[in-house]
């Protein structure tokens, strides 16, 4: 299945590169032996040399068998983090046997020897980004001084030999434990999730991370955690599906026509029709569990009440608000965690979903517990989910007492046209390829949403009405203010404009694309605070976004009604803040420069857009440049590369403000400053 | 360049001694040659599932000593008349269950619980479908069914790299070796709860809930090839004595180390599936310490050019590289696969593991017509092809030249013979499939092509490469498990007639004017299987198979897996083309026996023989003579 969908993706890739008129390229290749040189597209070679060692950051011990990846670009400004992200994408393409897109960097790879050594030879001069991966370690890169620190490019002159390059790697942290049921017996096949806790502004941000399942001993282990704060949870969802909805699915399957039905279900995140569980009235009830097996709550007792498992956050909380954050350092192992599942008496919640044309059938409804503050993605953390029947009615079964919010959100999916399906068998795996060259058609239906608070006590709750409303839209036009020629229509139409929720779950709507005249309209979004995030077009970067009477280029937009007069202004005037960093110690400078708005308290209150907090790695000679800067008043400071820089943490921001230098940068100005490395107090 | 030996030799190995063949002397009790009255109604009758007052219940216990009850197992019933929806429940603390409100019918039952192999009630091998159907009369209360679950087994261990360090994030899975048509294929095991796991930070994996059986352990890891560095290279680079930066590039550089990758590995430590150890796992057994290591293999670059004989530049070609080895039906992380042909005709596969491969190219001779406004663009027709066999052994292959040749087309129209079902006005719901003659004995060369017919019933399959194919057409409708639906009747062209026999496509020869007939008049055999005392014999299988030996191959429409009668002895084999059939009763059979000609030959000797006319609903009771 997964393979099949990947291949479809690959087909698009082929189509897209073809459409862009890709030049011949044979970029991703290992260093070829001498005999293979001279083939078309072979990488440029030279006489440069890089020799280095990969070491464990805490013990200094060499790491053998690590893969060291070097990519080179001949010249030009280097965006090191962007380059690394591109490298990861390339690696994914290569792993799938695909070639990299044209114009990408040349990539070299080597395994480290048993004493942690690597070398790259016959190198042309240029700017190299060097990253490393090794079993049990976080991906790292040259220049990194802490696990999430900035990487640095390595500049190699013609024929230069760099033989003392050292790259540090940090071990993953791990958490392991057991899931037991109410009797203390191992609970098998229960989903367990690790959630990363970070601080953004004054709020905690909880991002669901990897999922695993308890094994036959109830044991689970997360072995590859980035150091940081974690919550561990066994999220339990009672999934009720009307028997009629399952029958409808099987009837569609028999006539070979489930595509539209599934698209409709996916649009609202409705539970998928499966064939087992506990029959309760005209519903079939399951618990979330390992995908290969159906889990069901115990058969109800004589009183007919269903007992269901509550979600448990370690050590024994039912919501994030009461859960304990486990801080994990690099290489730290937390073992013997116990997640005990408890059966709770439950009630049911029934209601109806009403749309503009009356009751809505076949739409997914989710019941989320209040108290999961800061959860970025709430899928998988519902107490109950269901789908409406033909009369638009729904029932949540197995809901323990508590306060909840019932939600409907229907985000239309694009339809992928398939004209010809070709199946091929590769190594015994059946792969499906779409023979269509047409891109997915953007959905035209509006985003619909509804939400209602639901309090559940000891008795059933009835008649919850969820009235669907269309999402709010932001529309307007693009303005290009500058001397450069305005981008052609095809470049305009390639631009994407998204709204990203400042807090709460992300809405996976299709981004807006401007028309040839530069007019755009976003999908509909539920009311809330959003960052408007247009990309850049060539030399044009965003200067201002006027919407609802305010410039929201770097602040959150309060979307409380449709806004149809937004103006996104692009400028071709490059504003930058650069200069030099001086240190008291001789040798190469190893530092990072950070800027924050001078009015940092107001910035914190408006959601701490990272667009107003640029960072740059300082070159070994002390020079730096913060490109793509927005004009305004800033506080700027240089720190050692291993300093705990976190511009999303108000404590750091306040500490930085005490040692930073105020700078005003006007539009189009190339401002230069000289900074000394500051120390956080 | 065209694979000539695609047809596989038939299995000649004698079938296993465990196979029991019940000689089935049959007495014809009643035969109704005329078609019975068909239910009327359209094919897509969406009505509520029937309900009734019947009950199916019983108790689920473990196979462990003392047979303790298994609680909270999910019990699912399904019948051909209605899907499983809602006919499901959960066992209580004493293992008991009951599904109520059932209509009369034949139900199959399966029991699911994490950590245990999924169990089909009444199946010869409990975790392998089909189970024995349960016959339920209107209002009947069946409350004493006993289901014994087999405790799942465990295979656990650690995966290490060439340096003995734990490997993180590798995929470990269990494969089952099976012999199909004389070939060993390695397919993913069935019935397990956790069959595919990623190794954790300690390199550990644990597969559990496995049914007893024979397994091969496979590991593969997602990674990209990299170069190995030799100590000589390091010494040279650091200037022999090792003083950093010391000069010595005057010394001749040692040859660069090879580019390598971790190949998929098999326990106890081989990269060849045929050399893998076969692990015997007993019921409930835990095989721990199944530790093995990944091994480096050199990778090669395979590159070359695709050209057209007429010199026109090649555009939009698709190129694939597939391994031509034993079939391993598991997803492995692979560094080979697909690539793109550049506008200048060049292509490359940057990192190919040692082995034998087939390179296949498909391309369009013409760009598709620009789409009319408001319609979506058409996909180009891939009507050109080229193919080459490649053997890779660690050295680069840089001069592969593939010349595109025109593929053939198969065209014609689809005709429906409708008698009871309503023929759709739009025939684009008819799907045509061009497939290899033997779907199961898949060679890795196969490309299976499907396409819809046009609304008026005409069709064209283009870009067909010379080879043998089976052409097949299907149209959803009716309820095939109830014996109603559309069935391929014949394929005719120029006085020749096929059904599901292979069609030979030769270079440069299109097949036009093909008439494909679909009918709703499928034949059926049903009846009761009885023992010598006229009691139902649901413990046996009923096997109906064609007299025509050319249809004794997997994939033939006339050859069906033996069916299990329900608890009343009732059986049904439906959607059959007309013709002469053997009918036999079997005590048991191995998974691959029913399409093994040697086996069929022996069963034929102990069968009754009957003829089915088109659309005939034959009722034929079978009595087993002792």
Give the closest of A7, A135, A255 to B166, CB-based: A135
Pairwise pLDDT comparison (A4 vs A493), residue with the higher score? A493
pLDDT of amino acid B468: 82
Q: Is the CB of residue B555 less than 8 Å from the CB of residue B510?
A: no
pLDDT of amino acid A515: 87
The residues in A 71-110 lying below 8 A from B, measured between CB atoms, are 91, 94-99, 108-110
Q: Which candidate, B174, B130, B132, B171, places its Cα nearest to that of B152?
A: B174
Q: Is the CB of residue B489 less than 8 Å from the CB of residue B517?
A: yes
pLDDT of amino acid B1: 36
Q: From CA A332, how far away is CA B218, in angstroms rounded?
A: 30
Exposure string for A162-181, b = 16+ CB within 10 A, e = fewer: bbebebbbbbbbbbbbbbbb
pLDDT of amino acid B578: 92
Pairwise pLDDT comparison (A474 vs A75), residue with the higher score? A474
Verify whether the Cβ–Cβ distance A189 to B193 is below 8 Å.
yes
pLDDT of amino acid A491: 82
| For residue A437, pLDDT beyond 70 | no
Token pair recorded at residue B511: 């097949």
Token pair recorded at residue A269: 């995140």
CA A451 to chain centre: 25
All residues of chain B having their beta carbon less than 8 Å from the beta carbon of residue A32 are 301, 396
- Out of A290-299, A546-555, B220-229, B369-378, pick the least confident: B369-378
Q: Which candidate, A625, A630, A633, places its Cα nearest to that of A575?
A: A630
pLDDT of amino acid A460: 94
Pairwise pLDDT comparison (A314 vs A76), residue with the higher score? A314
Mean pLDDT of A294-317: 89
The residues in A 436-495 lying below 8 A from B, measured between CB atoms, are 436-438, 441
Pairwise pLDDT comparison (A44 vs A274), residue with the higher score? A274
Tens-digit pLDDT profile for residues A617-654: 888 888 998 877 888 899 999 998 878 888 888 888 99
pLDDT of amino acid B370: 65
Verify whether the Cβ–Cβ distance B318 to A64 is below 8 Å.
no
pLDDT of amino acid A22: 29
Q: From CA B75, how far away is CA A413, in angstroms rounded?
A: 35
Tens-digit pLDDT profile for residues A204-226: 889 898 999 999 999 999 998 99
Indicate the pLDDT class of residue B537, thresholds 50, 70 and 90.
Answer: confident
* Most confident range, picked from A151-155, A387-391, B220-224, B306-310: A387-391
Mean pLDDT of A537-557: 84
Nearest CA in chain B to A50: B237
All residues of chain A having their beta carbon less than 8 Å from the beta carbon of residue B446 are 424-425
pLDDT of amino acid B89: 92
Tens-digit pLDDT profile for residues A575-593: 889 999 988 777 778 888 9
Pairwise pLDDT comparison (B287 vs B126), residue with the higher score? B287
Helix (H) or strand (E) holding A70: strand A67-73
The residues in A 183-212 lying below 8 A from B, measured between CB atoms, are 188-189
CA distance B32 to chain A (A): 30
Mean pLDDT, all residues of chain B: 80
* Most confident range, picked from A215-224, A367-376, A415-424: A215-224
The residues in A 15-74 lying below 8 A from B, measured between CB atoms, are 17-18, 22, 24-26, 28-33, 35-36, 39-41, 47, 49, 51, 64-65, 67-69
CA distance B446 to chain A (A): 6
- Out of A60-64, B16-20, B514-518, pick the least confident: B16-20
| For residue A30, pLDDT beyond 90 | no
Verify whether the Cβ–Cβ distance B88 to A441 is below 8 Å.
no
Could you give the 3-state DSSP secondary structure of residue B119?
A: strand
Verify whether the Cβ–Cβ distance A423 to B448 is below 8 Å.
yes
pLDDT of amino acid A509: 76
Mean pLDDT of B156-162: 93
In this structure, the dihedral spanned by the alpha carbons of residues A670, A674, A677 and A680, taken in order and rounded to 10 degrees, is -70
Q: Which candidate, B164, B335, B343, B163, places its Cα nearest to that of B261?
A: B335
- Strand A283-287 relative to strand A238-242, pairing: antiparallel
* Most confident range, picked from A267-281, A489-503, A562-576: A562-576
Q: From CA B186, how far away is CA B326, in angstroms rounded?
A: 8
For residue B609, the cross-strand partners are B582
Verify whether the Cβ–Cβ distance A428 to B380 is below 8 Å.
no
Q: What are the DSSP E strand ranges found in A88-149?
A: 106-111, 117-123, 126-133, 140-141
Verify whether the Cβ–Cβ distance B351 to A94 is below 8 Å.
yes
- Strand A461-467 relative to strand A347-355, pairing: parallel
Tens-digit pLDDT profile for residues A231-249: 999 999 999 999 888 888 8
pLDDT of amino acid B374: 54
Verify whether the Cβ–Cβ distance A221 to B315 is below 8 Å.
no
| For residue B561, pLDDT beyond 80 | yes
Q: From CA B74, how far away is CA A285, in angstroms rounded?
A: 11
Q: Rounded to a whole number, what is the largest CA-CA distance in chain A?
A: 84
pTM above 0.80, yes or no: no
pLDDT of amino acid B326: 64
Exposure string for A372-399, b = 16+ CB within 10 A, e = fewer: bebbbebebbbbbbbbbbeebebbbbbb
Mean pLDDT of B94-102: 93
Nearest CA in chain A to B48: A244
All residues of chain B having their beta carbon less than 8 Å from the beta carbon of residue A114 are 163
Nearest CA in chain A to B441: A428
For residue B176, the cross-strand partners are B187
- Out of A485-499, A507-521, B81-95, B595-609, pick the least confident: B81-95
Indicate the pLDDT class of residue A375, thresholds 50, 70 and 90.
Answer: confident
What ipTM was estimated for this complex? 0.78
pLDDT of amino acid B355: 86
Verify whether the Cβ–Cβ distance B83 to A294 is below 8 Å.
no
Pairwise pLDDT comparison (B334 vs B541), residue with the higher score? B541
Count other Cβ atoms within 10 Å, centred on residue B17.
Answer: 6
A157 touches chain B (CB under 8 A): no
Give the closest of B93, B154, B449 to A422, CB-based: B449
Mean pLDDT of B222-233: 86
| For residue A44, pLDDT beyond 70 | no
All residues of chain B having their beta carbon less than 8 Å from the beta carbon of residue A28 are 350
All residues of chain B having their beta carbon less than 8 Å from the beta carbon of residue A273 are 85
pLDDT of amino acid A59: 94
| For residue A395, pLDDT beyond 50 | yes
| For residue B5, pLDDT beyond 60 | no
Residues in Cβ contact with B285 at an 8 Å cutoff, skipping those fewer than 6 apart? B153, B154, B212
Residues in Cβ contact with A136 at an 8 Å cutoff, skipping those fewer than 6 apart? A171, A172, A223, B165, B166, B168, B201
């Amino acid at each position: 299945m997964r393979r099949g969908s990947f291949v479809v993706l690959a087909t698009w890739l082929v189509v897209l590169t073809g459409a862009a008129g890709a030049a011949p390229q044979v970029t991703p290749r290992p260093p070829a032996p001498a005999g293979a040189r001279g083939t078309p597209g072979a990488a440029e070679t030279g006489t440069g040399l890089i020799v280095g060692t990969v070491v464990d950051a805490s013990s200094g011990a060499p790491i053998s068998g690590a893969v060291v990846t070097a990519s080179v670009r001949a010249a030009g400004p280097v965006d090191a983090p962007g380059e690394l992200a591109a490298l990861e994408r390339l690696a994914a393409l290569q792993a799938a046997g695909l070639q990299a897109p044209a114009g990408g960097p040349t990539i070299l790879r080597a395994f480290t020897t048993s004493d942690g050594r690597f070398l790259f030879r016959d190198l042309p001069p240029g700017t190299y980004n060097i990253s490393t991966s090794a079993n049990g370690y976080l991906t790292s890169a040259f220049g990194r001084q802490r696990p999430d620190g900035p990487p640095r490019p390595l500049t190699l002159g013609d024929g230069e030999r760099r033989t003392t390059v050292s790259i540090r790697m940090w071990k993953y942290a791990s958490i392991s434990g057991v899931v037991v049921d109410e009797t203390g017996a191992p609970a098998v096949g229960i989903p367990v999730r690790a959630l990363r806790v970070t601080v953004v502004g004054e709020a905690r941000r909880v991002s669901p991370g990897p999922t695993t399942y308890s094994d036959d001993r109830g044991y689970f282990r997360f072995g590859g955690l980035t150091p940081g704060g974690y919550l561990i949870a066994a999220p339990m969802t009672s999934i009720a599906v009307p028997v009629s909805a399952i029958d409808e699915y099987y009837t569609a399957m028999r006539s070979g026509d489930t595509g539209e039905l599934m698209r409709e279900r996916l649009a609202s995140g409705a539970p998928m029709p499966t064939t087992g569980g506990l029959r309760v009235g005209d519903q079939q009830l399951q618990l979330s569990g390992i995908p290969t097996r159906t889990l069901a709550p115990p058969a109800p007792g004589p009183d007919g009440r269903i007992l269901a498992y509550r979600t448990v956050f370690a050590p024994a909380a039912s919501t994030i608000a009461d859960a304990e954050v486990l801080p994990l350092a690099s290489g730290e192992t937390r073992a013997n965690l116990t997640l005990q599942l408890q059966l709770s008496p439950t009630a049911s919640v029934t209601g109806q979903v009403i749309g503009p044309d009356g009751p809505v059938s076949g739409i997914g409804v989710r019941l989320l517990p209040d108290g999961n503050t800061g959860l970025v993605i709430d899928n998988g953390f519902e107490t109950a989910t269901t789908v409406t029947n033909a009369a638009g009615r729904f029932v949540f079964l197995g809901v323990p007492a508590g306060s909840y919010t019932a939600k409907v959100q229907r985000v239309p999916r694009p339809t992928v046209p398939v004209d010809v399906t070709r199946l091929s068998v590769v190594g015994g795996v059946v792969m499906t390829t779409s023979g269509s060259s047409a891109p997915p058609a953007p959905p035209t239906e509006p985003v619909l949403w509804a939400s209602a608070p639901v309090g559940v006590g000891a008795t059933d709750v009835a008649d919850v009405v969820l009235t669907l409303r269309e999402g709010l839209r932001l529309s307007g036009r693009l303005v290009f203010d500058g001397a450069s020629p305005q981008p052609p229509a095809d470049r305009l139409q390639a631009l994407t404009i998204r709204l990203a929720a400042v807090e709460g779950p992300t809405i996976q709507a299709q981004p807006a694309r401007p028309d040839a005249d530069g007019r755009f309209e976003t999908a509909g979004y539920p009311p809330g605070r959003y960052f408007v995030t247009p990309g850049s077009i060539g030399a044009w970067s965003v200067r201002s976004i006027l919407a609802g009477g305010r410039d929201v280029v770097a602040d959150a937009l309060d979307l409380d009604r449709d806004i149809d007069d937004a103006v996104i202004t692009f400028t071709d005037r490059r504003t930058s803040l650069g200069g030099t960093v001086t240190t008291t110690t001789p040798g190469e400078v190893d530092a990072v420069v950070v800027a924050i708005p001078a009015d940092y308290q107001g910035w914190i209150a408006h959601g701490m857009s990272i667009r107003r907090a640029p960072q740059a790695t300082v070159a070994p000679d002390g020079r730096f440049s913060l490109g793509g800067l927005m004009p305004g008043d800033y506080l700027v400071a240089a720190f050692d590369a291993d300093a705990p820089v976190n511009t999303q943490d108000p404590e750091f921001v306040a500490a930085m403000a005490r040692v930073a230098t105020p700078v005003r940068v006007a539009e189009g100005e190339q401002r230069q400053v000289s900074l000394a490395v500051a120390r956080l107090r | 360049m065209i694979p000539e030996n695609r047809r596989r030799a038939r299995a000649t190995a004698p079938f296993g001694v465990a196979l029991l063949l019940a000689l089935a002397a049959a007495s014809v009790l009643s035969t109704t040659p005329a078609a019975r009255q068909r239910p009327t109604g359209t094919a897509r009758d969406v009505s509520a599932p029937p309900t009734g007052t019947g009950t199916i219940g019983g108790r689920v216990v473990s196979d462990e000593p003392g047979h303790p009850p298994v609680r909270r197992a999910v019990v699912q019933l399904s019948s051909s008349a209605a899907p499983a929806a809602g006919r499901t429940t959960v066992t209580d603390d004493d293992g008991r269950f009951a599904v109520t409100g059932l209509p009369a019918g034949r139900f199959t039952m399966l029991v699911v619980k994490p950590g245990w192999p999924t169990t089909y009630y009444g199946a010869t091998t409990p975790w392998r479908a089909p189970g024995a159907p349960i016959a339920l009369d209107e209002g009947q209360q069946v409350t004493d069914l006993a289901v014994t679950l087999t405790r799942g087994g465990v295979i656990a261990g650690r995966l290490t790299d060439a340096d003995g360090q734990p490997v993180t994030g590798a995929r470990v899975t269990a494969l089952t070796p099976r012999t199909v048509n004389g070939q060993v294929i390695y397919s993913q095991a069935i019935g397990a709860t956790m069959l595919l796991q990623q190794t954790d930070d300690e390199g550990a994996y644990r597969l559990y809930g496995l049914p007893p059986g024979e397994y091969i352990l496979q590991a593969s890891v997602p990674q990209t090839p990299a170069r190995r560095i030799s100590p000589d290279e390091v010494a040279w680079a650091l200037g022999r004595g090792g003083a950093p930066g010391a000069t010595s590039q005057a010394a001749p550089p040692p040859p660069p180390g090879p580019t390598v990758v971790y190949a998929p590995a098999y326990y106890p430590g081989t990269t060849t599936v045929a050399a893998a150890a076969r692990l015997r796992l007993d019921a409930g057994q835990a095989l721990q310490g199944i530790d093995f290591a990944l091994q480096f293999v050199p990778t090669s670059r395979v590159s070359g050019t695709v050209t057209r004989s007429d010199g026109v530049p090649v555009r939009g070609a698709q190129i694939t590289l597939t391994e031509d080895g034993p079939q391993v039906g598991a997803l492995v992380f692979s560094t080979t696969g697909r690539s793109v042909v550049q506008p200048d005709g060049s292509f490359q596969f940057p990192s190919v593991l040692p082995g034998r491969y087939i390179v296949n190219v498909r391309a369009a001779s013409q760009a598709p017509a620009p789409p009319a406004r408001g319609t979506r663009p058409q996909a180009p027709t891939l009507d050109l092809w080229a193919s080459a066999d490649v053997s890779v052994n660690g050295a680069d292959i840089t001069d592969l030249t593939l010349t595109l040749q025109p593929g053939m087309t198969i065209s014609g129209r689809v005709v429906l013979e409708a008698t009871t079902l309503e023929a759709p006005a739009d025939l684009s719901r008819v799907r045509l499939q061009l497939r290899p003659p033997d779907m199961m004995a898949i060679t890795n060369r196969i490309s299976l092509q499907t396409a819809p017919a046009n609304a008026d019933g005409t069709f064209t399959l283009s870009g067909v490469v010379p080879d043998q194919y089976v052409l097949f057409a299907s149209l959803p409708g009716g309820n095939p498990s109830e014996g109603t639906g559309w069935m391929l009747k014949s394929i005719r062209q120029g006085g020749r007639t096929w059904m599901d026999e292979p069609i030979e496509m030769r270079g440069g020869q299109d097949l036009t004017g093909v008439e494909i007939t679909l009918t709703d008049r499928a034949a059926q055999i049903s009846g009761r299987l009885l023992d010598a005392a006229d009691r139902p014999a649901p413990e046996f299988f009923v096997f109906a198979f064609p007299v025509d030996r050319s249809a004794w191959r997997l994939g033939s429409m006339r050859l069906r897996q033996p069916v299990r009668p329900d608890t009343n002895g009732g059986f049904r084999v439906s959607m059959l083309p007309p013709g002469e059939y053997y009918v036999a009763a079997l005590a048991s059979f191995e998974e691959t026996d029913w399409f093994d000609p040697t086996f069929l030959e022996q069963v034929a000797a102990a069968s009754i023989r009957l003829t089915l006319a088109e659309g005939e609903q034959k009722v034929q009771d079978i009595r087993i003579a002792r």
